[in-house]
With several copies, the nearest count.
Chain A
Amino acid sequence: MDYEDIGLMAGIEIHQQLDTKEKLFCRCPTKLRDVSEKNGEFKRYLRATESEMGEIDRAAKEEMKKQDRIYTYYEYDTTCLVENDEEPPAPMNPEAVELALTMAKMMDMSPVGQVHVMRKLVIDGSNTSGFQRTSLVALNGRIPCIPGGAGIESICLEEEAAQRVEGDLFSLDRLGIPLAEITTAPDMKTPEQVKEVAAYIGMLLRSTGRVKRGIGTIRQDVNISIRGGARVEIKGVQDLNLIDEVVRREILRQQNLLFIRDELIKREASVSDEIFDVTELFKDTGSAILKKAKSILAVRLLGFNGLVGKEIQPGRRLGSEMSDYAKKCGVGGLFHTDELPAYGVSEEEVIKLRGFTNANPGDCVILVADTKKRAQCAIGQILMRAEMAFSGVPEETRKMLEEGSTSYMRPLPGAARMYPETDVLPVDITDEYWEELRIPELITEKEKRFAEEMGLDPALAKNIAYSVRRPLFEIAVSKGVKPNLAARTLYSTLRELKRDGVDTVSLSDADILEIMLAVEAEKAAKEAVPDLLRAVSKGDSVASAIEKIAPSVSEEELSEVVSAVINERIDFVKEQGMRALGPLMGVVMKEMRGRVDGKVISEALKNELKKVL
């Protein structure tokens, strides 16, 4: 596809959790807990409020359609009254500000003179306050990863939302973890560029060594539009490998919506706002959903026949879009005549329906079944979305589905959902402060340096450069651990141990470092490292693990063992001469079980063999 031809414009937003000691607006740790560790809970309602400008945000209004939802929040020993929205926030965490500004500097941005914390209305329950605190910290940078580079519009420092456990139940441990939101300009011209930029920014953030790692700690949103279409924001692309596919499918969706638009205009289609109560029609239906519904309402989309059922993206039809809108009222979905008879609705019932509603063959009839109140709300949403079809692509926030298609979430939020967080004082960013911020080496540069200067195998260099343990690698090397030992231990050995079921997460950096230093100090053989790590992971101290597994061996002891091994095999030795060295190495190594370095054993064997021969 010629992306230039269709006028593709794409940009991304990257949300990265920061690995600070404390949260952004309270002093709780940025630790996640298991739901089973909750030690309290509470329940609250949320309501949209007017902004300082006197408006209610359209996205918030949409959420309010589901009235009087009561949200439940789980509390932990690591959460406090700030997460509970029961105490004013503490001043912004300076560590997080410093980290966000460091990122900004890495992307050649300009800091704002004074950082103001804003409240961004979010009333889906994921924020106990009903808003997310966010602040714009820097503007207008550029990164060099694609031809011509990509503009970075802004970096915001935000608080992470509460984790949804299920339905309207949230876990407070995640709420308030600092989050850097990096927004690029819509500079990407192909799906592949989107992926490249996302990957580059990810690398850049990890280069700080101070971001969270693991599932859910980084999330990409993609902004896409094509000529004639509209800006659509797709939320929550967690898997980088899908990001180009998401872009491709959105292009497809927008193209199909534009096709439908043109077709509707050609057909002189229209939307009838006449609502039919067809509950009686289905009182003996074979559809379980319709049969149990208290109220079934129908509307006609005149001239829509066949278009509502048209696929616009794999697994998605115009009908799916309408259904998404309808669900905001709490209904389960809708039926439309493009897909009927089906789902237990008979041919005969469809005919009766079309008759009752006076529908022409070119019309599509839509059904919604629920309580009267909800069904009425849903019909309104459906009519609204049907009207939108005449202008093609609506501006929307959408949610990625499993394979890369998307569903509607809410309208694009406007500026009205932002208003000042009055409980937090602004932070002045002085020139001196900005000047003194140190830019960390990029992982890509490290990778090169590890290979070229430290002589690591390029693959290992890359692996260790991108590894979570990379900061430890650099510390270890700076303390005298040989790069190869450090890299193999921290990347390969830990990986293998993990594969074997060892709880490597519980190994502290300090312990791993101590083990590597012991090897360098020849207090343990490098062959003993896996066993030592294994022991320490089970709760041993490093010292006691060394004592048990690799007690320092005196030269005397070693030479005794070597002598014994040679004497037992003296005929073989006499026969083979110095060639016996290789085979005997294995025997002695096994005997010493990693307590002595291979090189030392080899030396001792050589000496002893020389004596004997």
Chain B
Amino acid sequence: METGERVLCKYAGTQLKGTYITERNGKAVIKLDSGYNIGVLHSTLEVIPKEKPAAPSPKKIEQNEKLPKLSIISTGGTIASKIDYRTGAVTSQFEADDILRAIPGLKDIAHFNAHVPATILSENMTPAIWKTLARTIFDEINSGTEGIIVTHGTDTMAYSAAAVSFMVQTPVPIIFAGSQRSADRPSSDNVMNGMCSAAAALSDLGEVAVVMHATTNDDYCAVHRGTRVRKMHTSRRDAFKSMNIKPLGIVDYPSLDVKLEDSVVRRGENKAALFDNLEENVGLLYFYPGMKPEVISAFSGYKGLVIAGTGLGHTSSACIGAVRDLTKAGTVVVMTSQCLNGRVCDRVYDTGRDLLDAGIIEGEDMLPEVAFVKLMWVLGQEKDTEKVKALMKTDLRGETGRCTPHGL
């Protein structure tokens, strides 16, 4: 039986009309005409011939060419999710155009050009897709777009925003947006996030940013720098938080007023440039008490490794030998902290000094994930180890600051 076929279900002494949906755990799932799905034995079903309804054909979205031009680049994610009938779960299979259907308000504020370089669940994001994404964005910038919205699953959105931050030098806003509650529910955050992203993409910003709910209310979105943002909750709307800096600004909803901090990079400050080389042979390792040195040695042969150490950036003394072996063999090892907030400082305690001696680079106040992406990128740009070290400690895209601000 095929999905969408009309069926008659003879069961429990009644005859129920419905539509065949899928098979699940050995049962046939049918949607009754009352709207309910039930799972029944296949043997209870009879196909009703010729009653298969035509799938409603969605109307083409009319766009207003007089409005400013924005680009929507879709990689998948729940801002544009649909149900997968195989597992019954939500997957990302929309085309970017469908976002305009899901968020009708968008077409009143801009004229959109859409690209779909990938349709993946964001946990399947890879450096290879980052390259494609970066190139797509770069081409759009060159074609004269006012701003870019990248729709992206929230799982790895922060990693991708960091990757694009390094790979694309941009004169226009590149806004990552997603939704924590899928687009198939009336309460989805996709509408507000989408509208606020468009407002941010038209704003005076000249950076890569993530624009998502700032609170659990539908009141305003925060604009987070792509190299300073982290998903800090599995499911809440306000999961994304700026780490170690204040957000770059906010977008009020529904007014869509954009307020940016004085310190942000402005539209047009940078010229467009693409640096899409990445060294993919880089790892990220989370230290834990009792870790065996072999866990570190498993990364031998890697070009780079970021360690999320404890506190100011430590591993156990027992692991330092393995770290030294890695650096001696040419792996660039960067130390960050699993505290996530604050700055690594390996000059204060014995272990830190020993780690410095073993060749690690202090990752300053970079997030482990951002240091990981940056290391891929730096190793993709530069082969000389000393230059790599210097670049890792230099602020390139706002990913690290010379001072750690108080009061966050």
Contact = CB atoms under 8 A, between A and B. Distances in A.
Interface residues of B, number: 61
Interface in A70-101: 70, 75, 79-88, 91
Nearest to A29: B403
Nearest to B103: A47
B214 to A, nearest CB: 12
B236 A81 contact: yes
A139 interface: yes
A75 B406 contact: yes
Interface stretch (B111-119, B121-129, B140-148, B342-350): B342-350
B342 to A, nearest CB: 7
Contacts of A407: none
Contact of A414 (B35, B56, B343): B35
B235 A114 contact: no
Given A112-B39, A118-B35, A140-B14, A422 B90 contact: yes
A433 interface: no
A428 B38 contact: no
Nearest to A119: B185
Interface string A111-145: 01111101111010000111100111011100000
Given A47-B186, A87-B342, A113 B216 contact: no
B183 interface: yes
A428 B27 contact: yes
A418 B212 CA distance: 29
A199 interface: no
B186 A130 contact: yes
B385 interface: no
Interface string B28-58: 0101111111111100000000000001101
A147 interface: no
Interface stretch (A36-44, A261-269, A304-312): A36-44
A306 B402 CA distance: 62
Contacts of A42: 215-217
Residue among A54, A82, A116 with the highest chain B CB neighbour number at 10 A: A116
Nearest to B41: A113
Given A27-B403, A87-B404, A110-B11, A136 B36 contact: yes
Contacts of B34: 136, 154, 415, 418
| Most chain A CB within a 10 A radius of its CB, from B40, B56, B90, B404 | B404
B187 A43 contact: no
A543 B315 CA distance: 59
Nearest to B81: A422
Contacts of A115: 38-39
Contacts of B41: 113
A79 B406 CA distance: 7
A426 B25 contact: yes
A278 to B, nearest CB: 32
Contacts of B347: 88, 91, 423-425
Nearest to A23: B403
Nearest to A57: B35
B290 interface: no
B184 interface: yes
Given A114-B39, A116-B29, A46 B187 contact: yes
Given A129-B185, A422-B88, A52 B12 contact: no
B186 A139 contact: no
B40 A113 contact: yes
B312 interface: yes
A28 B403 contact: yes
Contacts of B24: 114, 426
Contact of A416 (B11, B35, B38, B188): B35
A301 interface: no
Contact of B56 (A54, A112, A128): A54
Nearest to A413: B35
Interface residues of A, number: 70
A423 B348 CA distance: 5
Contacts of A84: 216, 406
Given A81-B236, A417-B35, A140 B185 contact: no
Contact of B192 (A45, A136, A423, A424): A45
B88 A47 contact: no
Nearest to A109: B12
Contacts of A423: 345, 347-348
B231 interface: no
A49 interface: yes
Given A70-B218, A80-B405, A140-B12, A131 B35 contact: no
A280 B185 CA distance: 44
A118 B36 contact: yes
B191 interface: yes
A348 interface: no
A48 interface: yes
Contacts of A79: 406
A49 B184 contact: yes
B37 A118 contact: yes
A521 B172 CA distance: 40
B106 to A, nearest CB: 13
A26 interface: yes
Interface in B377-406: 402-406
A420 B218 CA distance: 25
Contact of A112 (B35, B38, B55, B219): B38
Nearest to A48: B186
A575 interface: no
Contact of B185 (A55, A109, A130, A428): A130
Q: Which of B38, B180, B342 has the most CB of A within 10 A?
A: B38
B407 interface: yes
B337 to A, nearest CB: 12
B186 A116 contact: no
A415 to B, nearest CB: 4
Given A128-B187, A420-B37, A88 B218 contact: no
A28 B89 CA distance: 25
B83 interface: yes
A134 B34 CA distance: 12
B181 interface: yes
Contacts of A156: 36
A116 B36 contact: yes
B13 interface: yes
Contacts of A49: 102, 183-186, 188
A568 interface: no
A68 interface: yes
A82 B345 CA distance: 12
A136 B187 contact: no
A200 interface: no
A408 interface: no
Contacts of A60: 186
A53 interface: yes
Contacts of A282: none
B101 to A, nearest CB: 8
Interface string B309-351: 0001000000000000000000000000000001101011000
A68 B102 CA distance: 16
Given A22-B402, A81-B403, 11 more contacts: A44-B218, A55-B56, A80-B406, A87-B342, A110-B11, A115-B38, A128-B187, A129-B181, A136-B38, A422-B90, A423-B347
Shortest Cβ-Cβ A-B pairs, 3 listed: A130-B186, A114-B39, A418-B35
21 contacts: A40-B407, A43-B219, A45-B218, A60-B186, A75-B407, A81-B343, A84-B406, A86-B181, A88-B312, A91-B347, A113-B40, A115-B39, A116-B29, A118-B36, A414-B35, A415-B33, A418-B34, A419-B184, A420-B37, A422-B184, A422-B348
